[in-house]
Structure 1
């Protein structure tokens, strides 16, 4: 009986393993043709089966986690773009109607959008539940599935916009972090795993750009670049791609010098790549690099790179122009501020000097350096001989009037 039970367990494990790798292969195929919803579903099933067989952070799960994270990232990008376009159309429609009708239209549109997005992403919610189940023991799975589903339904009811996009990005980050832990454990002394680890850091950086955490994105990409520099040739296209992504990230934080530097490095590496491929084509040497595309040719890659170089150069020139414009705008703002301040000071000085008056705090300056000689003489004339006869006459003129009457 024990031998029969062991045989059944082995057979069941073999079937589960085959099913997991089938889902993994299907997910890669869906990812290749950009069917991200189906890719997410397939990778989620593969991750669940592999984690049940080997454990949550087993080495066998790394590839599935990595591809699952990429699919979630691409799905989040696609859906955020679609929702953004629909939101603009709805705003333009609402602006042409009355306020009361517009409010009802917004509520109905929001409910319709949630229903449409929810129906299009039902597979994604199920995959999220499956991935969360992988972190718990088999005895707790059934209870947690119902709890997770109810909490997600409440979240959809409360927030009518972008909930699924945020969850996709967050889940993509979690999957890539798990893959990073697994690949890092295997990377010591293993060139291929180091290259995989660099790819994980690059994808984490892309997730950071999508979630607008630019500082963390730059750190992940810099780590990727360091690993690539230690394990790849200096003319490898992967290094050029990382420089390009770093240039984009630095441009988003307005660090134009760093952005231009990385884009220039990407351009130079691609030029080196073209020279390397041309020499390789002339020598007729066989390609020692692993190529996944069966239709790859050296001439095709050279043509592809030559098509990319003008675009990168144009982006570098655009950043240089934008840097100059920004600097000119800042200098113009400083000049305007100085001119405004100077005019204000001149206005205060003129108003105090023309009429011979000034604020109490600046009275000593006015007395020591009078602006107008006329005002000085007037003040002096009023202060001369206070007991003179003229003053007495002026003082006595008023009381003499009633006597004349």
Structure 2
């Protein structure tokens, strides 16, 4: 499981997102089976799997008109007629006139979906990939709750993109509190958190709070510029 986690992180680093999702989902599945979903050992796999889903959503949203959905299939597929039918469907798709990118999407969904099923549950046949990212970050957040890790920030980014602005503000403020206690005053990371917080406030028309957040972000950047001079 740990080897799969490391593989997934390497794939994520080079932006091979389908391979990252496959490796990280299998890592999370194995760790959940061994330790349980709330164990500390599972947190890192949940976090990086959420990151992979989030980056996949961002990549897809740049080129697709409709939201990407990720098929969740049963963990153990039955053999026999059903498997043959699925193989037949796959064969038909390969022989059709669909573009190569569409074939890759089908293959990716069927390959990676098996591995996330036991982690995500099977209440829906298809889930938007952004929802999967949110659920992975939420699970990691529960484990990491009191630790100084960037889960809250990534979760807040997903919440912003999902237009859950109140939740985004809550998580960004929690993360900012952690940053203030552990980072230098010219931290670029803290400036980015203030900026995201400003975006969230502006999105719900809390413009005074938004201005204060943007000013705090700019102040940190200016402080860093002064230090570098």
State the TM bucket, normalised to the shorter chain. Answer: 0.7 to 0.9
- Number of the residue aligned with 1:169: 130
Against the structure 1 CA distance between its residues 67 and 135, is the aligned structure 2 distance closer, same or farther, given a 3 Å change threshold? closer
User: 2:153 corresponds to which residue?
Assistant: 202
Q: Aligned runs of 1:331-350 on 2, under 5 Å?
A: none
- 47 and 114 in structure 1: CA distance in 2 versus 1, 3 angstrom threshold: farther
Distance 1:27 1:82, change over 3 A: same
Question: Which whole-Å deviations, capped at 9, do the CAs of 1:183-231 have from their partners, x for residues lacking one?
Answer: 12xx3xxxxxx321xx111111111111112222122111211222223
SS in 1 for 2:184: coil
Q: CA deviation at 1:125?
A: 4.8
RMSD of aligned C-alpha atoms? 3.0
Sort the Cα spacing of 1:134 and 1:259 in 2 relative to 1 into closer, same or farther, 3 A.
closer
Partner of 2:222: 271
Cα 1:52–1:233 change in 2 (3 A) is: same
Is 1:120 the counterpart of 2:105? The answer is yes
Q: Within 2, Cα distance between the matches of 1:36 and 1:121?
A: 15
> Could you say if the C-alpha distance between residues 125 and 77 of structure 1 is closer, same or farther in structure 2, counting changes exceeding 3 Å?
farther
Matched, 1:38 2:23: no
SS at match of 2:21: helix
Shift of the 124–21 alpha-carbon distance from structure 1 to 2, 3 Å rule, reads: farther
1:130 to 100, 107, 115: 115
Q: Distance in 2 between matches of 1:83 and 1:201?
A: 28
1:320 match:
none
**Do structure 1's residue 259 and structure 2's residue 220 form an aligned pair?**
no
Q: Which residue of 2 aligns with 1:74?
A: 55
Between Structure 1 and Structure 2, how many residues are aligned? 200
**TM norm structure 2:** 0.75
* Distance in structure 2 (CA, Å) of the matches to 1:63 and 1:35: 19
C-alpha change, 1:60 and 1:258, in structure 2 (3 Å) is same
> Contact (CA 8 Å) 1:41, 1:124: kept in 2 or not?
no
So what's the TM-score if we normalise by structure 1?
0.44
- Is residue 2:178 matched to residue 1:227? yes
Q: Which runs of 5+ in 1 are unaligned?
A: 1-19, 86-111, 137-147, 156-165, 188-193, 279-405
Q: Taking structure 1 as reference, are residues 78 and 121 closer, same or farther at Cα in structure 2, changes over 3 Å only? A: farther
